[in-house]
Amino acid sequence: MKWIDEAIFYQVYPQSFKDSNGDGIGDFGGIVSKLDYIRNTGFNAIWINPCFESPFLDAGYDITDYYKTAERYGTINDLRGLFDEVHKRDMHVILDLVPGHTSYLHPWFLKSMSRDKNDCTDRYVWTDYVGRDVENVTGVTGWLRGISDRNGACAVNYKACQPALNFGFGKVTDEYGWQQSPADAGPRANIEEMKKIMSFWLDLGCDGFRVDMAGSLVKNDDEQYETIKIWDEINGYIHEKYPEAVTISEWGEPSRALRGGFDADFLLSFGPSHYMDLFRNDNMLDFKSGTHFFSKRGKGDLTNFKAAYEGFYEQAKKGGMICIPSGNHDIPRMAPQMDEDEIKLAFVFLMTFAGAPFVYYGDEIGMRYIEKLPSVEGGYHRTGARTPMQWDKSKNCGFSDGKSENLYLPVDPDENRPDVASQIEDNTSIYNTVRKLIKLRKQYKCLGNKGDLKFLEVSAESYPLVYERSYGGESMVVIINPCERCVECDLGDIGEIIYQIGGEPRTEAEKIKVMPCSAFIAKYKNKAV
Ligand code: NOJ
C-alpha cells in the first residue's frame, strides 16, 4: 500500500495562503504556521503550486530555475524545513512539476536563441526558418518569432511567455527536418533533466509531484502514444528509485495518464471527463443559471460524467486513481455558483467518492470567486479564485500583517465573507461538514480512495445521485439529492444510516423518499446479493 491510497489532499496556492513576514504575499513560513489547521481539518497531504524561481507571468508556471525556490516564498532551507514539519505531522507534500515549458527568460531558452549551435539548441521546439511557423500542430498554442538571432520560430506550450520544451513529434510532417523524434538528442536531454529535477526535490524531502500539462509533451502525437511512453519511462525511473514517491498528472484523461505510470490523474475543466457538469454552469463564468447537477434547480445531468468516469475507471482498476477536485486555481470557485446547502452536498459527494479527493484552499469554508478583479500574474478570469485565505475577522482577514494595499490580491470585500475562525465555532458550517465527512471517510474504508464504486441510479435530469461503495465485504450506499424537490429511489433494504444532512429520508411503498437538498449514507446490502 502506498500513502496516496489514504491521502486526502489540500491544495495550497502559496501566494494567497498565509503571509508570515508582512510583505503581502504568502510564503513557506505561513504554510508551516497553518499545518496544524490543515491536519486538524482532516487532510493528510498537501499540494503546493509552483514555488520556484520565476518572473511570475503565469503565477510561477513560467520557471527560470527548476532547482531554486522563489525568493518571495523563502529559501531552499525553509522549504526543507516545511517538508520536515509536514512529515512530523504524518502528512505528505507534493510540489508542482512543470515539464512542458519554461519561462522565456530561462537561461536554457536564452541560450537556445543563439544562432550558434550549443547544448540548448535542441531543447525547445524551433523551426528552421523565421518565416516558418508551427501552425496546425496539435499541442502547440502559438509561436515566438523575430526575437532572436536564431533564424526560426519557437513553439509555445501555453502562453507567449512559455516556450515549449522539445520532447519531439509523434508524427513528423515537415519536409525541412526541424521536427525531431522523441529519441533525438534534444528530447532525450529534456527527459533526463526531468528525472534529475524530480530526484533533486525528492532527495530534499518532498513526497512527489503534481505534474502540469502532463499530456502536452510530444507534439502531433495521435492518441498521445509517445507522450505516454515518455511518462512510462520517467515514472518507472522515479518509482524504482523512490518507491514511496507519488506522481499525479494534470492530464484529464486517466485512461491515458495511468498507462504512463502516474499514480493518479485529475479530472479537469477541459478534456472528455465532464467534470464541469458536477459543480459549474455550462458557461463557467455564469453565476446564475444553475445548469450543473449540484444546483437546487434540479436540471443537471450526470449521464455524460458517469459514462466518461466508468470508462476511466476500467483503467484505474488496473492500477492508479482518478482524482476529483473541489476546484483549483484555474476555475471559478464553487461559490457563488453554489449556495451553502449545495456546497455541503458537493462535499458529501467529494468525500465519499473513489480516488484521492482534492480540496482547494478556502473551498472548505465556501470562499467566493470574486468577479471582475484586474488580472494579477497572468490570472485573467482565474484571478478571482486566487484571493487571500480568510482566516478570521482581523485585518486582511488574518492573511497578512502588511498594508492592505500591498496584498498580492485584495481580500473578498463582502462584510459577510466566511472565515475559518467563525466556521470552526459553528457546528453547522461548511467547514464542520467537511471535517465530519473526512472523519467518516477515514473511519469506513469502503468510502475511501480505494473502495469500489458503482453508480446505481443515474439518468438524464435524474435525481437523486446514488452510488455504492464497497471494500473488503463492507458496502455503503450514498444518496444525494441537491434539488429542491422531494425525489424517490428504489434500493430495496438499506441498513443503518451512518450520516445524514438535510431532511430525514422516509420509506413509502417500498420506495425511499429523499427530501429536498439532502443526502445520506447508509450501510447496504445490494438487492442482487
Ligand atoms: C495548468 C496550470 O494549472 C495553469 O495554472 C497554468 O497556467 C498552465 N498549466 C500552464 O502551465
Tally DSSP H helices, then E strands, for the chain.
12, 20
Residue 359 and residue 273 in one domain = yes
Of 52, 61, 268, the one to substitute when testing ligand 1's pocket (max ligand atoms within 8 A of C-beta) is: 61
**Given the CA of residue 382, which atom of ligand 1 is nearest to it?**
5
Of 414, 441, 468, the residue at which a domain comes to its end is: 441
Residue 294 and residue 368 in one domain: yes
Pocket test residue of 66, 158, 360 for ligand 1, highest count of atoms within 8 A of CB: 158
Any ligand 1 atom below 6 A from CB of 213: yes
CATH code for position 485: 2.60.40.1180
Q: What is the distance between the alpha carbons of residues 353 and 469, in angstroms, rounded to a whole number?
A: 8
pLDDT of 526 reads 65
- 105 in any annotated domain: no
179 occurs within a structural domain: no
Residues 384 and 324 in one domain: yes
Last residue of a domain, one of 409, 441, 473: 441
Q: Give mean pLDDT in consecutive 10-residue pieces for the chain, a chain of 529 residues.
A: 97 98 98 99 98 98 98 98 98 98 98 97 97 89 95 97 98 91 97 98 98 98 96 98 98 97 97 96 88 95 95 95 98 96 98 98 98 97 98 98 98 97 98 98 98 85 92 96 94 90 89 95 74
What separation in Å is there between the alpha carbon of 58 and the centre of ligand 1? 7
CA atoms within 13 A on the CB side of 317: 9
> Can you give the pLDDT at residue 460?
66
On whether both 417 and 490 belong to a single domain, the answer is no
Q: Is the CB of 98 under 6 A from ligand 1?
A: yes
CA-nearest residue, atom 2 of ligand 1 = 212
**285 with 378, same domain?**
yes
441 and 8 Cβ atoms separated by less than 8 Å: yes
> Are 16 and 40 found together in one domain?
yes
Report pLDDT for 355. Answer: 98
The verdict on 296 and 380 lying in the same domain is yes
Q: Verify that 388 and 502 share a domain, yes or no.
A: no
Q: Identify the pLDDT of residue 494.
A: 87
Q: Does 158 contact ligand 1 (Cβ within 6 A)? A: yes
Instruction: Tell me how far the alpha carbon of residue 485 lies from the centroid of ligand 1, in angstroms.
Output: 39
Nearest C-alpha to atom 11 of ligand 1 is from which residue? 61
Domain CATH for 357: 3.20.20.80
Q: Are 380 and 465 part of one and the same domain?
A: no
Work out whether the CA dihedral 255, 257, 263, 264 comes out positive or negative. negative
Same domain, 22 and 86: yes
Q: What are the phi and psi torsion angles at 465 (to 5°)?
A: -90, 130
The total domain count for the chain is 2
Ligand 1 touching residue 212 (CB < 6 A): yes
Cα of 118 vs centre of ligand 1, distance in Å, is 29
Q: Which DSSP string do the residues of 355-416 spell out, in sequence order? A: S--EEETTGGGTPBPPTTPPP-TT-GGGGGG-PPP--SSSGGGGS-SS-GGGSSSPPP--TT
Segments forming the whole domain that contains residue 83:
7-92+267-441
Q: Which of 393, 422, 441 is the last residue of a domain?
A: 441
* Atom 3 (ligand 1) nearest CA: 330
pLDDT given for residue 376 in this prediction: 98
Let me know: does 486 contact 501? Beta carbons within 8 Å: no
Which residue is closest in CA terms to ligand 1's atom 5? 330
Pair (430, 349) in one structural domain: yes
C-alpha 340/C-alpha 276 separation (Å) is 19
Q: Quick one: 271 and 335 in the same domain?
A: yes
**pLDDT of 256:** 97
Residue found by looking up cell 473551498 in the block: 363
Instruction: Give 277 Cα–ligand 1 centroid separation in angstroms.
Output: 21
Ligand 1 pocket check for 58: Cβ under 6 Å: yes
